[in-house]
Structure 1
């Protein structure tokens, strides 16, 4: 904007908002991550360089992206940069958190200015949820910095949302005949009280394999209807789920 300074409306988490978030985990009786995880030692924070322009915009909602790890690791078992997630040495992963992304009325803020410093201890605390130190560092720098002042607050909110979720048995569902994107999202909605299929995005790759589920949240962290971009594949689109076997 010419002749003005755009100010970032940093999200301030009140006690009441934290109470809402904490209430989300009460119905869940099982952790969202069903597989075992052994956290590696973390002694440093990866350096992250912005690869696009800064956008400081008002936050109007959120997307939580859950990546289907067996598909991601299908061609990365021997990758050094993805060793924690894909080698099997630190456990096996089903869905993992790709990120919690702020939205802004059809656009999104990114790479906001912040004085918050990410520590090795905070990275280690989140490795079973996001099994990549570089991914954790990038999600804070690109997305979390536009929500809150401190990385520990960003990841605390992400963990609360993550632990509130129940993951259906997608290994079993993957074996069903005629599997569709609609079946994938309906299974997730059926397993999570308060969610409807319209609030759950399904991202397939060009060959029809499941890559991500994207959960759409309003500004108060209640589920809301996804827009067309986040909704992804339509219900009738044929889908496949790689089991990693």
Structure 2
């Protein structure tokens, strides 16, 4: 009887081991995984836990550790450097398996799927120029220039914040991070977009548009022309509203986050102001406003509804001075 139980127990254990998912300990995989999509990298893909909001970088290769099933795997485990928990699971459909890592980052065409969450970073240029007087756009700033009386475009950032440099080569990323934006390739913009952008984004004079495209626009899912056309549309919505009027009326005076949010409520509906953050420099000058947005511009959604759909913003600065040019 004892021998019979021993045989049955051995059979059950053997069967369970055969059916269990592959783990690092039981079946370590070799090779490399090259990302073709900017997917989330989970510590547990079943629980959807993702400390540090890690995502794959398109074109980058990661050491392959394991798969979740011996046959018909749906997820693979990778080693992602720089994370506290560096062993992460991603969907197999997010890339392709290679026999070995080449150490090269392949630059794919821009085919990112356009997401829903964005942060529109809007500058008050006179305050920026207080701390960057040597910039070309600051040397030429006058009280009558557009950006001395209107809100200026800093950038449109697909969220989360680490969703950046999609499909960008190591070389271009290095050039961008060294702030040698003059060495980045010129953008393919229509004459209409280029002309308006050079006014609404004063940093255009210092090639800010190239930096913003390389770092953020490449994750937007469109061409550079569409990316900036959408950004300019958003800026027109702001500068044709009481939000711009509020800034003009407070030049040389203090502006509170409460007043700013009330102006958004008046311009775009009750609750819109809760989606806006105000940021000030160390000397108490209003430097930027960060506007949370959610929705696909290509769907024809209004700016008002993009605000209403967005998550609430924090308040980094309670009040600050609207600096004159």
1:128 aligns with 2:205: no
Name 1:232's counterpart in structure 2.
Answer: 316
Shift of 1:118: 1.1
**Could you tell me whether the CA contact under 8 Å between 2:187 and 2:210 is conserved in 1?**
yes
Stretches of structure 2 that go unaligned for 5 or more consecutive residues are 1-30, 40-55, 59-111, 170-184, 298-305
In terms of Rg, which structure is larger?
2
- Larger % of strand: which? 2
**Could you tell me whether the CA contact under 8 Å between 1:8 and 1:146 is conserved in 2?**
no
Aligned partners of 2:221, 2:156: CA distance in 1, in Å? 12
Q: Which of the pair has the greater relative contact order for Cα pairs under 8 Å at 6+ separation?
A: 1
Name 2:34's counterpart in structure 1.
Answer: 5
Aligned partners of 1:211, 1:147: CA distance in 2, in Å? 25
**Could you tell me whether the CA contact under 8 Å between 1:65 and 1:98 is conserved in 2?**
yes
The one-character-per-residue Cα deviations of 1:213-240 (angstroms, maximum 9, x if unpaired) are 1110114361113344xx433xxx2322
Closer/same/farther in 2, CA of residues 226 and 6 from structure 1, 3 Å limit: farther
Shift of 1:194: 6.4
Aligned partners of 1:219, 1:156: CA distance in 2, in Å? 16
Closer/same/farther in 2, CA of residues 62 and 80 from structure 1, 3 Å limit: closer
Stretches of structure 1 that go unaligned for 5 or more consecutive residues are 11-53
Shift of 1:205: 1.3
Aligned partners of 1:239, 1:174: CA distance in 2, in Å? 11
Closer/same/farther in 2, CA of residues 153 and 171 from structure 1, 3 Å limit: closer
The count of residues paired between Structure 1 and Structure 2 equals 191
TM-score, normalised via structure 1 length: 0.64
Aligned partners of 1:129, 1:151: CA distance in 2, in Å? 16
The one-character-per-residue Cα deviations of 1:6-35 (angstroms, maximum 9, x if unpaired) are 22369xxxxxxxxxxxxxxxxxxxxxxxxx
1:111 aligns with 2:156: no
Aligned partners of 1:123, 1:144: CA distance in 2, in Å? 15
**Could you tell me whether the CA contact under 8 Å between 2:122 and 2:289 is conserved in 1?**
yes
Closer/same/farther in 2, CA of residues 132 and 180 from structure 1, 3 Å limit: closer
**Could you tell me whether the CA contact under 8 Å between 2:257 and 2:278 is conserved in 1?**
yes
**Could you tell me whether the CA contact under 8 Å between 1:67 and 1:211 is conserved in 2?**
yes
Name 1:212's counterpart in structure 2.
Answer: 288
Secondary structure of the corresponding residue to residue 4 of structure 1: strand
Closer/same/farther in 2, CA of residues 91 and 161 from structure 1, 3 Å limit: same
**Could you tell me whether the CA contact under 8 Å between 2:38 and 2:166 is conserved in 1?**
no
**Could you tell me whether the CA contact under 8 Å between 1:171 and 1:243 is conserved in 2?**
no
Aligned partners of 1:226, 1:158: CA distance in 2, in Å? 21
Name 1:169's counterpart in structure 2.
Answer: 246
Among 78, 96, 112, the alignment partner of 2:152 is 96
Secondary structure of the corresponding residue to residue 97 of structure 1: strand
Closer/same/farther in 2, CA of residues 194 and 111 from structure 1, 3 Å limit: farther
- Larger % of helix: which? 2
RMSD, aligned α-carbons: 3.5
TM-score, normalised via structure 2 length: 0.50
User: After alignment, is 212-221 or 61-70 more displaced?
Assistant: 212-221
Shift of 1:60: 4.5
Aligned partners of 1:176, 1:80: CA distance in 2, in Å? 25
